[in-house]
Every structure is written in structure tokens, then in C-alpha cells.
A and B are shown apart, each in its own frame.
Chain A
């Protein structure tokens, strides 16, 4: 193996031998990554310099929608790589889309706000609940939560979507009963002294026991570019550590980069999200857990084993988990 490694020495973008290029040359120096409104995907937004250090010379951030639209952008070849909420990727995989999940990123970051009198998910039966859009990560997540406690998310919850005013504003004005948000919305609500959270997926079981966001590549990118895929994954995992050790600088960078608007909300979110624990969780557990929940909710037809067989490749993750400790 070592003979192979040393004989395959590559040349980095600055023209000198690169240690990681010695493992094998990059099959491509291009990677296109999703630019999705939201803070929790900060690692991929600040991974650009680390990607350059890995030998990539053409790093593009492509604006996509969030949730399933981002996964479909991946499936349709508009981007090569993104982190996304696991169910938002599982649903297209169930539909046969060419997506390969290659690792996990972080736990939590969804918060369910509710009016007085609503103490748990079951109390949402017959209530008006605001989400960004049907098919959004929020809608999918709350559907799985509802199905988990025996509700029918299609019939039992009145979903409220609105471009203007946004569902968060409707909830703040008392016009709807509950609202599920991810950063920066929970931070903004708390800043407005609206802090009645009945589920926080960062700390509340069972949601806190599984990766929320996983990292996925287009199937062809992962299969044709395994060295590049591993290096993208490595750069994003290192960037996750940067979010832990340098949250103020990361917050400023994602504001400067146009990924989010408010520095204070970004900083608060970065400090709350468990980026440092990626080695402690198993992404396959998350895929199995969410596949079961989505199947319970009638959203997908495949069983977890089929989703895992069709849409995951843990080789990169398993190698990096041994090579990169934290």
C-alpha cells in the first residue's frame, strides 16, 4: 500500500508535492456545493480554504432551495455535494434519485415553538402549525415527529405556509399555534422573548441521538471521484471543528459570505449546535431511524435496509473516522 501511495505523488495547486495527493491524485479539482439559507450548514460554507489545501482549485457555491429542493439539485447534477437534513435526502433516494450519503455532520438544531396549552407533539392534533413550505426540512421533520407519536401528519395537522408574512411572524403574532424553525429563526424568536420550546432536537430524545444533517454527494461524483469525495468530506469535517474553536470568526465569515444576515444569531447558533461530536454518532443509525419514521408516516415506501443499500457509502466516513480524531 505504501509503495502505491508514494509512487502516486501528486502536485498541489502551488506546484509542490502534497501529502494527501500522495495517497492518489484527485480525479477532479472541481466541487460544487449548495448555498442554502441557514446557519447550521456553516461547515460547508467555511470549508473553501480547506478544500484548496486539499487540492481543489474550482470551488463553487450554488444557490439552491433548502430541504428536498437542495437534495433534488444534487440529484439533478446542479451541485456535487451538500449537507442536508437526513429525511430530505432519504425521500429522493426512495424515489430512485442518484444520491449517495457519505457521512454525518451534526446533531439537532430544530426547535418546535408552541403556544401555552400545547405540551407535546400529540397536542398538535387539529392545530395550525407553520413551516417554511410543504416539503421543506421543517415540514418533513415535524411529519416524522407526528407519526412517531401516532398522529397522521397529513390529516391531523393543519399546515400553514406563507411567503409573506413568514410563518415565524404568524406565530409571533399569535395567529398560528406552533412553529418549527431552524437557525436563525429560533434565535430570533428568543431575542423577541418568545421562548416556549416544546421540542429541541439538539437535546430532546430520540431526535438528539441521531445525526440531523448528513453529507451527501451525487452518486456519480462519489463513484467516479472517490479521492475527491474523501477530501471534500475531510475538509467539511475539519471545518466543523473550526465552527467549534472559532465560532466568532466563522459567524463573521458566513455573514460576509452572504449565507446569513445576522452575526449575533449566527454566533448563538454555532455555539448551540453539536459540531464537535461527529465521531460519537453513527450516520447509518440516523438513516435507519429516519427511514423508519418516514415509512411510519407513509412518506416513503422503502425499508431502511433498501435505503442504506441504495443510497449510502460509508467507506470514506469509516476511513476518516480512523484517520481524523477529535
Chain B
């Protein structure tokens, strides 16, 4: 995490090379997103110490992802990418679209640590919540979203799969992105597409 600003710059420089297209594309992937199931509910603690539930985001599109602040391998790729997309979303971010990053390392990621992490990555906390909770609560929410989390390794790393879920304004899980190397432009288009639905 402490190397986050430098990594962010590298990541952003890379992302700036990604062309942004708004033209409609009649590809398989550009069809309306599927309706998978009601998204798993949660009630966790935010970076400000307040309780946050998924239901709080009804009426907004929300992207739910899983991170931990001391992750040195791939989390430093995912969070800057989401920060980049946050900026691309303009005034829709916060008002119509929100992000939720849930830690998989609740023992170390206190609200204070999460707040520092959020600031390091330029997160706009008006639309982006960083959540922690009891180990049981975190274990429950990761399992219900289908995220694999293992016990910590000797050096403190937490092995976990990267899964970012997009939930529509009615609370329905619509698509999941696996890994951290997905196309930020496709991610942004998927978020915006749900705003167009009746």
C-alpha cells in the first residue's frame, strides 16, 4: 500500500493508452447484461466507522470488489483501475454509480487503515465505500459472492481470487469480472448501460 502513489501513476499511464469508445457495438458481449440472481446482502463497517449495507445503494448501480490494503501483488492494480474509471464516470459517480471495496483482511484493515488507503488511491468517498467487519462477517460475504480467500501466508499475504461484481439499482447481480486485468472501458460501459435500463 505504501507504494501506492507510484504504482497508481504507472497504472494510470497505462490506462490512458486504452481507447474509450462509446459507439454501440453489436457483439455478444454488448448485449444487455444477464440477471444472475439477487446480490448477496451485507452489513459492514465503513472507513468512517458507520454501518453500510448493500440496501443503502438501492437506486444506484454498484460495483462490489474485494481487496486488502497490504496486498503488494495485484490489489495495487485493481484499485487504481477503479479510481481511473471513477474519474471517467464524471457526475454519475456517487449520484448514480457507487463502488464498494471490501477487505479480505479485517484483522489489519481497520476503518482508519482503509481511509488512509482510499486517500492514497484518490478514491472519492462520496461514492466509494471501503468496508471491513468481523472475520466471520467478512468470511460470510466473500463466500456468498463466490470469492475464495485462504488463510494468510507466512509473510502475511492473503491468497484470494479477484472478483468484481456489478449490481443493478434493484439489487440484482448482473455480471462479475474475474481478475484484475479486465478492460476498464468495458467495465465503465457495463456500469453506464445499467443506467439506461427502464
Q: Mark B30-60, 1 if CB is under 8 A from A, else 0.
A: 0101111111100000000000000000000
Say whether A19 faces chain B, with CB atoms less than 8 Å apart.
Answer: yes
Q: Measured between C-beta atoms, what is the minimum distance from B77 to chain A in Å?
A: 9
Near A by CB (< 8 A), chain B positions 146-180 give 146-148, 150, 153, 159, 161-163, 172-173, 175-180
Asked if A241 contacts B162 (CB within 8 A), the reply is yes
Are B182 and A326 closer than 8 Å at their CB atoms? yes
Q: Is the beta-carbon distance between A325 and B177 smaller than 8 angstroms? A: yes
Partner-binding segment picked from A9-17, A84-92, A133-141, A303-311: A9-17
Contact of B34 among A16, A19, A237, A323 (CB under 8 A): A323
Q: Which residue of B lies closest to A318 (CB)?
A: B28
Residues of A within 8 A of B145 (CB): 19
Instruction: Summarize A's interface: helix, strand, loop or mixed.
Output: helix
Rounded to whole angstroms, the CA-CA distance of A249 and B74 in the bound complex is 13
Question: Which residue of chain B has the shortest Cβ distance to A23 in the bound complex?
Answer: B37
Chain A nearest Cβ from B158, distance in angstroms: 11
Query: Do the beta carbons of B35 and A1 come within 8 Å of each other?
Result: yes
Assess whether A246 is interfacial by the CB under 8 Å rule: yes
A155 contacts chain B at the CB level, 8 A cutoff: no
| B161 A50 Cβ-Cβ under 8 A | yes
Cβ-defined partner of B150 (8 Å) among A12, A49, A234, A244: A49
B190: which A residues are within 8 A, CB to CB? Answer: 325
Contact of B181 among A2, A5, A276, A324 (CB under 8 A): A276
A271 at the interface (CB under 8 A from B): no
- Pair count A-B, CB < 8 A: 102
In the bound complex, what is the Cα–Cα distance between A67 and B74 (angstroms)? 35
Question: What is the number of residues of chain A that contact chain B, defined by CB distance less than 8 Å?
Answer: 34
Alpha-carbon separation in the docked complex, A322 to B175 (Å): 7
Residues of A within 8 A of B173 (CB): 19
Provide the A289-326 mask, 1 if CB < 8 A to any CB of B, else 0: 00000000000000000000000000000010111111
Q: Which residues of A contact B142 (CB under 8 A)?
A: 53
User: CA of A321 to CA of B150 in the docked complex: distance in angstroms?
Assistant: 26
| B176 and A325 within 8 A (CB) | yes
Verify if A242 is at the interface (C-beta below 8 Å from B): yes
Q: Smallest distance from the beta carbon of B197 to chain A beta carbons, Å?
A: 13
Judge whether B38 and A19 touch: CB under 8 Å.
yes
In the complex, A18 Cα to B142 Cα: how many Å?
11
Chain A residues lying within 8 Å of B40, measured Cβ to Cβ, are 17-19
Q: Are B148 and A14 in contact (CB under 8 A)?
A: no
Query: In whole Å, how far is A160's beta carbon from the nearest beta carbon of chain B?
Result: 41
Are A19 and B178 neighbours in the complex by a CB distance under 8 Å? no
B150 x A324 contact (CB < 8 A): no
Contact residues, A52-86 vs B (CB, 8 A)? 53-54
Any A CB within 8 A of the CB of B95: no
Q: Is B116 an interface residue (CB 8 A)?
A: no
Rounded to whole angstroms, the CA-CA distance of A19 and B173 in the bound complex is 9
A298 to B29 CA separation, bound complex (whole angstroms)? 38
> Which of A6, A244, A322 is the most central at the interface, judged by chain B CB atoms within 10 Å of its CB?
A322
Whether B186 sits at the interface, judged by CB under 8 Å, is yes
Do A238 and B144 form a contact, CB below 8 Å, given A1-B35, A6-B38, A246-B73?
A: no
Residue A22, interface by CB 8 Å: yes
B159 & A18 in contact (Cβ 8 Å cutoff): no
Is B87 in contact with chain A by the CB < 8 A criterion? Answer: no
Cα distance A37–B88 in the bound complex, in angstroms: 47
Given known A-B contacts A53-B147, A325-B176, A241 and B161 have beta carbons under 8 A apart: yes
Residues of chain A within 8 A of B143, CB atoms compared: 12, 14, 18, 53
Please state if A276 and B179 are interface contacts (CB–CB under 8 Å). yes
How many Å from the CB of A236 to the closest CB on chain B?
12
Given A323-B176, A326-B178, does the pair A242, B140 have CB atoms closer than 8 Å?
A: no
Q: List 21 A-B contacts (CB under 8 A).
A: A5-B37, A5-B38, A14-B143, A19-B37, A19-B40, A49-B150, A50-B146, A50-B161, A53-B146, A238-B163, A244-B181, A245-B74, A245-B162, A245-B180, A249-B159, A276-B179, A276-B181, A319-B34, A322-B34, A323-B34, A323-B175
Q: Which residues of A contact B (CB under 8 A)?
A: 1-2, 5-6, 12, 14, 16-20, 22-23, 49-50, 53-54, 234, 237-238, 241-242, 244-246, 249, 276, 319, 321-326
> Interface of B with A (CB < 8 Å)?
28-29, 31, 33-40, 73-74, 140, 142-148, 150, 153, 159, 161-163, 172-173, 175-182, 186, 190
| Apart from A12-B144, A20-B146, A53-B148: 11 A-B pairs, beta carbons within 8 A | A2-B35, A5-B35, A19-B38, A238-B163, A241-B161, A249-B159, A321-B28, A322-B33, A324-B177, A325-B177, A326-B179
